[in-house]
Amino acid sequence: MRVKITQIQLPLDYEEKDIFAAVAAKLKCSENILSGLEIIRRSIDARKRREEPVFSMHVEIEISESTGFLLPDDKEIRIISGQKILPEIIIPKTSGKAMTRPVIVGSGPSGLMAALTLAEAGLSPILIERGSPVRERTSQVSLFWKKGELNPEGNVLFGEGGAGLFSDGKLTTRSKDRISVRRFLETLVKCGAPEEILIDSEPHLGTDILKKILPAFRNLIEGAGGEVRFHSRLEGIRAENGRLCGITVNGEDIDTQFCILATGHSARDIYQMLAASGVMLEQKSFAVGLRLELPQERIDRAQWGSFAGHTRLGPAGFHLALKETGKNRACYTFCMCPGGTVIPCASSHGFLTSNGMSLSSRPGKFGNAAFLVPVNPSDYADHGKEIFPALAGIGFQIKIEQLAYKAAGGDYYLPASPLSDFLADRNPNTLPERRSWPRSIPADLQVILPDFICATLKAAIPGMLSLLKGIIHEEILLYAAETRSSSPVRISRNETGESVNLSGLFPSGEGAGYAGGIVSSAVDGLRAAEAVIRKITDE
């Protein structure tokens, strides 16, 4: 019989034989009757009540039934039926029922997963991407970071892989759709990701690994019958009687009845085009703040104690939050990058935002995280007077990004301030020589962000950091401004996944306002593709 066992705890220096011994001890049996060990999940338990961090595992194992062994009465031990926990997704073949080829717009995780699913269904989809393939995009981003030369179509935010390419590559998610999550992770492994992402509780890839995975992912799509077109910018949509009949790309009309829109949260021209075309959009809450950087060794010591530096632990991260009080709003950390670097981002001239990035080994001397404050539609109502009301949140972002660009003197330097100066309302004169992003200059961050955001950050950051013992305020640097953690717009869709007023248009991923992160976006893209397949099959 096959058994699942949870909460198997092992020391940091465990070997495979130690897992068998721990399982046998939990089952109160001999190791000789055990076989077929499979680790399902692995996490680090470093809670302060422990003398040292340990690995906590969920495993499955086969027990020889010929021994007549009886399982202990333990809620952490249960028999598994013969069926796999995560059954394979069956993609129905449509046998050419579609009158036109479906089109996917955007090659971030949502668009890639949608394109692969439709290709495997035999629908020969077309994936269009306004930006460049990975190698060309990397060169464009390098010029931007080194010389401030921005390519509006190929940059940190646009191109193969979407905005997630230049990030920490986190693969954590709150999605309960375990089957779809597993399928995406297994696809990444097929494309060259390490198998550990299938079991680690907080897996990540890093930009260097993502750069290798993406061309392989593209090959999967093309090998299944899909087509990928770069430097292809969506300019318009065509509809008849409330139904999509085509799109315009680079001035060329493409007939299609099905379009999955997975353009990401930074394609502001797409929102404008949709609003002008009458597609229903909604205002949405989002968050704005600063990116905070501190020495990684301080984070490691705060989280791992005397075990900081252990090769099995790696650089530590943190998740901090403060609830709303009577005077100030809530504040929370987002996109924490251990051993990473803060980076400037832009998709249009004269606008500037920040983000964090790391490599797979997270080798940097600093860790960084966004400290964000919620922003609600009532906060940005005045920004929609000269544009479509649904896009007022973009107006709110734009004002901050223009101020950030101006505060740093142009040329896409990042405005920065020591935390101590920010808390004391001082205009900084210098920055520490050791910092992750040298192309940054001292700036008064309070002239960039709205007063309610600054007030919340000043009240929240010291208390949040107090949860990390040994952190020194004088070593902390703030960069402005974090504006694009999520979309300020939602493209309204119904229970079938389609636009509520344009049949055949399937908004998906972060840009549609229904996902937040690499995995949730990929899952949303998979669901959009399945919705297209159902639509075609039913017609």
Q: Where are the beta strands (DSSP E) in 164-242?
A: 227-229, 234-240
Neighbours of 466 (CB within 10 A): 10
> If pLDDT is split at 50, 70 and 90, which confidence band does 328 have?
confident
Rounded-to-integer distance, Cα 414 and Cα 430, Å: 13
pLDDT, one tens digit per residue, over 196-205 is: 999 999 999 9
Q: How far apart are the first and last CA of the chain?
A: 45
Rounded-to-integer distance, Cα 10 and Cα 227, Å: 47
CA nearest to 436, candidates 421, 420, 416: 416
pLDDT of residue 94: 60
pLDDT, one tens digit per residue, over 374-408 is: 999 999 988 766 679 999 999 999 999 999 999 99
The stretch 240-253 carries a mean pLDDT of 97
Residue 280 has pLDDT above 60, yes or no: yes
Rounded-to-integer distance, Cα 414 and Cα 422, Å: 15
> If pLDDT is split at 50, 70 and 90, which confidence band does 325 have?
confident
The stretch 278-283 carries a mean pLDDT of 96
Rounded-to-integer distance, Cα 213 and Cα 227, Å: 18
Strand partners, 375: 286
pLDDT of residue 69: 84
What is the chain's Cα-based Rg?
25
Q: Where are the beta strands (DSSP E) in 407-508?
A: 414-418, 440-442, 477-482, 489-491, 505-507
> If pLDDT is split at 50, 70 and 90, which confidence band does 87 have?
low
Query: Do 186 and 89 touch, CB atoms closer than 8 A?
Result: no
Which of 98-112, 329-343, 377-391, 442-456 is predicted least confidently? 377-391
> If pLDDT is split at 50, 70 and 90, which confidence band does 33 have?
very high
pLDDT of residue 84: 55
> If pLDDT is split at 50, 70 and 90, which confidence band does 91 have?
low
pLDDT of residue 487: 96
- Helix, strand, coil percent content, the chain, rounded in steps of 5: 35, 25, 40
Residue 47 has pLDDT above 90, yes or no: no
CA angle 479, 320, 318 (to 5 degrees): 80
pLDDT, one tens digit per residue, over 464-506 is: 999 999 999 999 999 999 999 999 999 999 999 999 999 999 9
The stretch 77-82 carries a mean pLDDT of 83
The encoded tokens of residue 415 equal 């405005």
pLDDT of residue 176: 84
Return mean pLDDT, the chain.
Answer: 93
More confident residue, 228 or 67: 228
pLDDT of residue 201: 92
Residue 98 has pLDDT above 60, yes or no: no
Rounded-to-integer distance, Cα 446 and Cα 136, Å: 37
Using CA of residue 327, residue 333, residue 339, residue 342, what is the dihedral sign? Answer: negative
Which of 31-45, 67-81, 299-313, 477-491 is predicted least confidently? 67-81
Share of the chain above pLDDT 90, in %: 87
The stretch 37-57 carries a mean pLDDT of 89
CA nearest to 191, candidates 160, 167, 166: 160
pLDDT, one tens digit per residue, over 116-170 is: 999 999 999 999 999 999 999 999 999 999 999 999 999 999 999 999 999 999 9
Neighbours of 386 (CB within 10 A): 7
Query: Do 92 and 533 touch, CB atoms closer than 8 A?
Result: yes
The stretch 298-311 carries a mean pLDDT of 94
For each of the domains in the chain, give its residue range(s) and CATH number, in order of start.
2-80 (3.30.70.2700), 103-282+489-538 (3.50.50.60), 286-482 (no CATH)
Which of 41-55, 159-173, 249-263, 493-507 is predicted least confidently? 41-55
Peptide bond into 481 cis (omega under 30): yes
The stretch 169-195 carries a mean pLDDT of 93
pLDDT of residue 1: 84
